[in-house]
Each structure stands twice: as structure tokens, then as C-alpha cells.
Structure 1
């Protein structure tokens, strides 16, 4: 991530065209939020390409088809007008009738881990398109288990990878060295892997620190209340189902972030009292001290959270502290998103912080003008956090990058971090030697284990206090 997959792909397609290997047309499918960036890069690296961006509502797309596709009486002419069609995942499915009738010289899927499930509509529809060659771009080919990797390989070469059971059986005991070598040999012809160290020899170092945070008094009160209120579900004899356990987990995660994520007192103007806002959360008290030092040291900071409501609270906090900032979450798309990035990256920009939601802000964004990343709360899927901090640790970065991951001590968060480490081991194994396990989603037992982690200590404090 941050190694120039976009640029390499554009130059690859351009060279195919310029050297006479292929006349196109090429289909590029990417997340809607990254399409503006793709347009820019095409303009810069392949100026002679006629690139059509196929997005917008039904009427807009109809106009594009009429004027840019070279249709004649609703039948496609043999001569297609454009070299590249740039579109989103959703439109691949919605406009299947039109796009699926074109013979594509090459398909490029950006953030191709979207294809990790062969039951998804996107996978099935795209599989029915007429495509000569396929190129999948991803920084995370394997997020949970080997099955997901198999589906990517099956999409690329279905004639070779068509037996999932056989594949999983063959690599069931993935911790054995001969199995790892065999898997690497199998993947070799299909995977071109670049490490930051290969591409960019002078890449500044990055250091990740797990910062263990204490719960505030208010948070402890809420945490105990959530646990006691759900005693039946948490007591194995009472036997809570998986859904109720996940709901409890979300409440506990909210509590670790900030108690105001539950109904909280507001001032007449609708905002919170700044001092109370900070003192109510262990993480915010720490963040307040850290940001002061980081600001004095001339650093710029990206702050990631999974919860948009937490980003709202962080906005209130930054306003209270008097820091200038930008923000991107799932509700901010296209042009507005790019404008925020451009403002933050502009020479001499005054913005000190950039608030991002882990999933929306983790894809195809370059924020190498920041050198500090704070993961306010960790994602279930460690690859989403890696995508997140790769916004800063990428080509163009000329300072050492510090990553601070906030984890509430003796809580669900601490246990989630341990589970995430296990998932990471599988990636290290498949794409380079190491150890790992085949399991993907969590069992009820694991959920149970996570929820109860640290509770003994929390309630023991109570008893000692009495």
C-alpha cells in the first residue's frame, strides 16, 4: 500500500497500447471514492489515452453512453471510442447489460479483496463479462483465511483453481514448512508482490506502539453496568446467542472509546462542555496531552476511528482545543473528499489533524504530509488498520512515521488486539514464510472469551474499594 499500484497499472496498460500489444478497450473498476485519483493519474501518466469516467445517476450514464461509447441505434459499433472505461463496483452490476456486452482486452480491479467471496453479486456478475486478461490490485490478498485467497485465484484462472475443498485440504496443516513452500510455488506465477523495501530503498522507518489506556471513573461505571445488565447472556449457563454477544461487545467498545457515545448531557448550543468531554474518557485525556506535544514538535496527525459518532466527539474536542482539522468518513464522497485531502496536503497548510473513519479513509488516499497516526480504536480486521496507517507510510513520506494504537487496558479491546495478531500471522505465512491458522470468523467461545477478558480485575477493584 502506498507503493504506486495505480501508477504501475496505468503505465502497464499504456505500454500495452503504445507498443502495439493491445488496442483496448480496458475496464478499470475501483471504489467510487478513489475514482478521482485514478482520473488524475491517467491524465499524468497516460496523456494520449481517451479515458471515460462512467459514474453518476441513470440520466448522466445514459448521456455518457450516447456520446462516449459510440453506440448506433442501441447496437455497439465494432469501433469503441474510448481506450479506458473507469467505473465503480456497483455500476459493474447495475449496468451489466451494457458493460457486459463489450469485449474487454483487460480488466483491472482495484482493492480486489472485494472479490474474496465468490457468492457476492460483484464476483458473479464480473465473472460473466467477456475479458481477455485480468489484473487484480490489492495490498491485502488475504484478510481472514485461505478460502478468500482461493476465490481470488479462482476468479483469475478458474481452469486451474476450481476445487476449493481440495485446496483447503491440501493446505490444512499450514504450519509445516513443506506445505508453505508448496503454497508459495503454487502462488508464484500468479502473484507479483512488492514490499516497501523493494520499491523505495530510502523509505523512512515506521514504529508502531500499543498505548495501554486506563478507563476513566465514568467509563468504569458504564462498563460494569453493561456487564451486569447482560449477566444472563454472559453467563454460559444462560447461554447468550452470538448476535446478543456481538451487541454487548459493541457497547463495551463504545464505552472504551467514550461514555458520551451513549446519551449524554449537552449545552444549550448542542455541544458538550469541553472539560467534561475530555475528563470522561481515558483515551481523550491521553490524546489531549499527546496532541499538545506533537503540535509543539511540528508533527501532523491522522486520527482513525471506526465509529463516525466518535469522530463527531473528536471534532468537538479539536474545536475545544483550538486545532484546525479536516475530516473524511463514509458520508463524504467524491469531490469533497479530494478537496479535503488537497487542502491538508497543500504546502503550508494550517490543518494539524485529519479525522478519518478506518474503512472510508483507509482506501486509495495519500496523506504522506502527516507523520503521526493515532488508531483511536482498532478494527476487528487488522488489515483495515494497516490500510489506514499506510495513508501516511507510503512513497512521498520523508519523515519517520509513528503509529500509536490506543488499547484500553484489561478490556475487550485488549483481547481483540490479541485476536487480530492471530489473523496477521496467516498473511505472513502465505505471502511469506511464518505460521498461521486456517480459521476465519470467531466462534461463540472466542466471543465469550473476549467479553469476559479483564472483568475479574474490574469487579475486584470494587470489592477492594468497599
Structure 2
């Protein structure tokens, strides 16, 4: 993030804002994430406190916003040039019905996150491509708007050029790699001490970790792994 000058805008549903915020806090706590929600006065206060430095320069790193807030404050958000606009829950009615407004935002790139199957119609694929294609290239696709199998195949092929990651039911979503590393004697002692002092939760037959004991053990072990001797 330190090499990127422009902020990111993540557009999602109101119910998903807290999940995004929690994931940023867990994975990249150093990144300044501003949650943009609430009524008009609340959002005005957020803009005054979080958007600009004294000199008028944008100080945002990540703006996490509901779709409703983006649409209501579109003129304000259009004044910012975004590094990328990420559209989460694309298929949600509150987002997909107003793609035309999102297209008005100034950005280097757009990223769509889809959580289900795309409707198998040319109109559905054209709607997606209208957001991803440049205006000139998209105009050339209007000849494929009639609902035929040939047109649908061509539009699917066109969309495939924009797909960065796709999963199927036969393919695991995550790949796991085990990499051997060397640890110091001090780290080994701390590993053993942590495991021995937490022997009760580690030997528990319960499938639930309601108090977060196992998670705390894992976090402690990770910190030991990251420890560097001076």
C-alpha cells in the first residue's frame, strides 16, 4: 500500500461492511480503513475528518462503503481518482441495478466479486461487460444482444478475458503449501512452553472453540515464528 498513491473504494452491501472491516484488521492492520455509512450528516462528518489533509490532498487508503452511500454521494466520490473500485456482492439487487452510476467513478481499474452463477442470458453478460469494457470496445458488442447460443458463447469468451480467479465445485478454493523453516533454540523453547501451558484446550474433544482458546494459541505460535533474535 505504501507504493500506491490513490485510495481504493470497496462497494458492498450494508450487512457486509463489518466483515470487510474485520478482515482488513486481521490481515493488514496497518492499512487505514474508513467505513463510509450512516445518514447524510454522519457521512459529511466522515468526509471532513477522514478524506483530506489540511493541504487538500486525499489521505484515504481504503474507503469501505455501502452501495446506497455511494449512489447518494456519487458527485462527491466522483471528484476522487481511485486506484481501484472493488464491487462486492455484484449480484445483489441493490448493486447490480445501479451499475451505470458506478461506471461514472474515476478509477484505474474495476474489480467485480461474484458469489454465484451468472444468469445464462446475453443481457446478463452484456451488463457485466458494460462495466469492464472500455466504452469503445463495449459499443462493438451491441450486435450480440439477441438471445442466441452463438452470441452467448461469444460473450462468455469475452468475459473470460477479465476473470482473474474462478472456482468450480471440483476444485478446492484454497491451495495449501508446507514450507520447512529453521527456528532458533529460543523459538523452540517458546513453542514447547506454549503447547505445554495450553495442554487442556489442545486435548479437548470439543469441536467448538467458543472462548477462542485455540485461536489464541495459534496467534501466539505465529508470533513466535515471526520473532527475530537481535
Whether TM exceeds 0.5 here: the answer is: yes
Instruction: Report the CA distance shift for 1:57/1:185 in structure 2 as closer, same or farther (over 3 A).
Output: closer
Task: Give CA deviations for 1:241-278 in whole Å, capped at 9, x if unaligned.
Answer: xxxxxxxxxxxxxxxxxxxxxxxxxxxxxxxxxxxxxx
Displacement after TM superposition at 1:68 (Å): 0.7
Alignment partner for residue 142 of structure 1, among 88, 110, 118?
Answer: 118
User: Structure 1 residue aligned with 2:131, among 151, 155, 166?
Assistant: 155
The 5 A counterparts of 1:263-412 are 347=209
Equivalent in the alignment of 2:173: 199
Residue 37 (1) aligns with residue 19 (2): yes
Distance change >3 Å, CA 102–CA 201, structure 1 → 2: closer
SS of match in other structure, 2:15: helix
Q: CA deviation at 1:347?
A: 3.0
Equivalent position of 2:162 in the other structure: 190
Using the TM superposition, give the Cα deviation of residue 174 of structure 1 relative to its aligned residue in structure 2, in angstroms. Answer: 4.4
Shift of 1:188: 2.5
Aligned partners of 2:20, 2:42: CA distance in 1, in Å?
A: 20
Q: CA deviation at 1:164?
A: 5.3
Question: Aligned partners of 2:127, 2:209: CA distance in 1, in Å?
Answer: 43
Instruction: Tell me by how many angstroms 1:107 deviates.
Output: 0.3
SS at 1:194's partner residue? coil
- The count of corresponding residues between Structure 1 and Structure 2 is 178
Residues in 1 aligned to 2:172 and 2:210: alpha-carbon distance in whole angstroms:
31
1:115–1:151 CA contact under 8 A, matched in 2: no
Distance 1:123 1:186, change over 3 A: closer
TM-score scaled by length of structure 1: 0.34
- Distance in 2 (CA, whole Å) between partners of 1:141 and 1:27 is 24
Partner of 2:108: 132
Corresponding position: 1:166 with 2:143? yes
Q: Is the 8 A contact 2:6 2:81 kept in 1?
A: no
1:378-406 CA deviation, whole Å, 9 max, x = no partner?
xxxxxxxxxxxxxxxxxxxxxxxxxxxxx
Q: Is 2:46 aligned against 1:64?
A: yes
Q: Which residue of 1 aligns with 2:90?
A: 112
Larger radius of gyration: 1
Instruction: Single out whichever of 23-32 and 55-64 deviates more from structure 2.
Output: 55-64
Whole-Å separation in 2 of the counterparts to 1:39 and 1:346: 24
Matched residue of 1:40: which SS? helix
In the aligned structure 1, how far is the partner of 2:62 from the partner of 2:105?
16
Q: Say whether 1:88 aligns with 2:62.
A: no
Q: How far, CA to CA, are the matches of 1:159 and 1:114 in structure 2?
A: 27
- Counterpart of 1:25 (choices 7, 11, 26) is 7
* Alpha carbons of structure 1 residues 347 and 152: separation in structure 2 relative to 1, 3 Å: same
C-alpha distance in structure 1 between counterparts of 2:58 and 2:148, whole Å: 47
- The one-character-per-residue Cα deviations of 1:412-440 (angstroms, maximum 9, x if unpaired) are xxxxxxxxxxxxxxxxxxxxxxxxxxxxx
Contact 2:14 2:66 in 1 (8 A): yes
Cα contact 1:26–1:104 (8 A) shared by 2: yes
Whole-Å separation in 1 of the counterparts to 2:119 and 2:156: 17
* Maintained 8 Å contact 2:33/2:63: yes
Deviation track 1:334-369 (CA, whole Å, cap 9, x = no partner) reads xxxxxxxxxxx96359xxxxxxxxxxxxxxxxxxxx
TM-score scaled to structure 2, two decimals? 0.66
Structure 1 distance, partners of 2:95, 2:137, is 18
The question of 1:47 aligning with 2:24 is answered no
Q: CA deviation at 1:183?
A: 4.6
57 and 152 in structure 1: CA distance in 2 versus 1, 3 angstrom threshold:
same
Unaligned runs of 5+ in 1: 1-16, 203-344, 350-466
Counterpart CA distance in 2 for 1:84 and 1:201 is 27
Task: Pick closer, same or farther for the CA change 1:201–1:44 going to 2, 3 Å.
Answer: closer
> What is the distance in 1 between the residues matched to 2:104 and 2:62?
19
State the alpha-carbon separation in 1 of the partners of residues 95 and 37 from structure 2: 24
- Alpha-carbon shift at residue 155 of structure 1 (Å): 0.8
